[in-house]
Amino acid sequence: MRGNMRVSVLFGVVLLAVFPIACGGSKGTSAKSSAANGAAAPAAADATAAQVAKEMRGSVSCPAKIATAARAPGAPVADIVGIRPGLTYDEAANLVLCDNPMLVIEADTSGGFQINTFGQKIRPGFSAKFAEARVEKTSRQILQEMQEANFARGSNSVVPYMKAGEVQYGVGAVGTPGQERVTHVAREEWFEEGKNPTVANVEQALITKYGPPTVARDDGGFRYLRWAYDPSGRRIDDGSPLLDQCAGPAGPSDSINVSTDCGVVVSARIFGLPSNAGLAKSMQVGAVDQADAFRAIKSTEDILRQQDEVRKAKELSDAAKIAVKPKM
């Protein structure tokens, strides 16, 4: 089977009131929150970011327990902080929350991969970012913030979407309802001010984990690296016609292609500080197994189609038994 599919890793998200996934609690139970039985606990009018994180995360067991089998020995390294293609949705979410106590999960409402779900609701992935303080604002304050935002857009001011010391994730998944598995993951980290590593040290840390890169270049203000493999796990070297085709996401907002011609692809960007390009301001790293993702997408759509055909056949059978005959 060969094929190509355009997919998006742009995560449209809605903030969840509680941690919505089954992770091990502190005593081996599912993750719990003040709204475990349905009704969310009343939120305080104002709350610090730490309080908001505590409310939303519930009880999270760390380190996360992973039941999915490890990748085959000798297979290309394909994980970002332990999160890799093939993990269950819940395993990935638990790993993300264990990365930093300020991270909260946001459900993906963008639709994920463009497949026909035949009316069924699947979890196409999630994003995670640092919790923000909750502040009750007057209408005057809201109006002032809107005016300031409009002014910033009109003057082309650069408004940082993250702060130093913060981390964010984008995780894609596909599968039948309740059986979704990770297809791709991307992580972005902005280093703490005054503790910035050198760009060279960040690059060396990446090479230590993933091996010699297939591509390494300076590209428009950042250092870009890529590790690309074909579906059998063979490294794609310079000069191969697959080199340009087999790319993957580095940041959580990157778009990607999936194809049966490509296997594991890991991509990274290292951004330097404006005041000193040799010091790293931030890093993005992403991983995808293109061939596995393509097969998972096709398999999911086939199963959902079959289930829909069974549903329609049953409705026809039931209708033949109970439907009233039309008057002629």
Percent of the chain with pLDDT over 90: 60
Question: What is the average pLDDT across 220-247?
Answer: 93
The pLDDT confidence band at residue 224, using thresholds 50, 70 and 90, is very high
Question: What is the average pLDDT across 304-320?
Answer: 90
57 found inside a domain:
yes
Poorest-confidence range of 24-33, 252-261, 302-311, 319-328?
24-33
Run of H or E including 184: strand 181-190
In the chain, the amino acid numbered 320 is A
319 found inside a domain:
no
Q: Give dist(CA 108, CA 123) in Å, integer.
A: 7
Helix, strand or coil, per DSSP, at residue 49: helix
Q: What is the pLDDT of residue 112?
A: 62
66 found inside a domain:
yes
Q: What is the pLDDT of residue 136?
A: 76
122 found inside a domain:
yes
Question: What is the average pLDDT across 272-279?
Answer: 95
241 found inside a domain:
yes
pLDDT digits (tens, 9 = 90+) for 14-72: 333 333 443 333 333 333 333 223 334 445 568 899 999 999 998 899 999 999 999 99
Q: What is the pLDDT of residue 189?
A: 98
Question: What is the average pLDDT across 193-210?
Answer: 97
97 found inside a domain:
yes
Q: What is the pLDDT of residue 37?
A: 32
Please name the residues in contact with 325: beta carbons below 8 A apart, sequence gap of 6 or more: none
Q: What is the pLDDT of residue 29?
A: 30
Contact yes or no for 105/16 (Cβ under 8 A): yes
291 found inside a domain:
yes
Q: What is the pLDDT of residue 312?
A: 93
Q: What is the pLDDT of residue 155?
A: 65
Q: How open is the CA angle 65-73-291, to the nearest 5 degrees?
A: 85
Q: Give dist(CA 297, CA 180) in Å, integer.
A: 10
Q: By residue range, what is the domain housing residue 32?
A: 4-305
Domain count within the chain:
1
Poorest-confidence range of 17-21, 122-126, 164-168, 223-227?
17-21
The mean predicted confidence, pLDDT, of the chain is: 84
Residue among 227, 270, 243 at smallest CA distance from 76: 227
- 82 burial (CB, 10 Å; 0-12 / 13-18 / 19+) is middle
The pLDDT confidence band at residue 293, using thresholds 50, 70 and 90, is very high
Residue among 70, 74, 73, 98 at smallest CA distance from 84: 70
pLDDT digits (tens, 9 = 90+) for 94-109: 999 999 999 999 887 6
311 found inside a domain:
no
